[in-house]
Amino acid sequence: MVKAYAGVVGVLFLLLGVIGFFMKELFGMIHFDLTHNIIHLVFGAIGIAAMRTDDNAVRFAKSIGVLYVALGLLGMVSPNMFGLMHMENAENVIHLIIGVIGLYLGFTAAQTIQTIKLKSKMN
What's the confidence (pLDDT) of residue 49? 97
Quote the mean pLDDT of the chain.
Answer: 87
The domain total for the chain is 1
Closest Cα partner for 87 from 43, 42, 2, 25?
25
Q: Which residues span the domain enclosing 46?
A: 2-122
Residue 115: band (very low, low, confident or very high) from pLDDT cuts 50, 70, 90: low
Q: What is the pLDDT of residues 62-80, one digit of tens each?
A: 999 999 999 999 988 887 7
Contacts of 64 (CB under 8 A, 6+ apart): 9, 43, 47, 98, 99, 102
Give the burial class of 81: count Cβ atoms within 10 A of its Cβ; 0-12 exposed, 13-18 middle, 19 or more buried: middle
The reply to whether the predicted model has a pTM over 0.85 is no
**Over 70: is that where the pLDDT of 1 sits?**
yes
How many CB atoms neighbour CB 110 within 10 A? 18
Q: Which of 3-7, 73-77, 110-114 has the lowest mean pLDDT?
A: 110-114
86 Cβ contact partners less than 8 Å away, ≥ 6 residues apart: 31, 33, 79, 80
Burial class (CB in 10 A: 0-12, 13-18, 19+), 18: middle
Whole-number pLDDT of residue 114: 65
pLDDT at residue 12 in the model: 94
The whole-number average pLDDT for the span 89-113 is: 88
Containing 30, the helix (H) or strand (E) segment is strand 30-31
H helix runs in 2-88, sequence order: 2-19, 34-50, 54-77
Amino acid identity, residue 104? Y
Residues 25-60 have pLDDT tens digits of 888 888 888 888 999 999 999 999 999 999 999 999
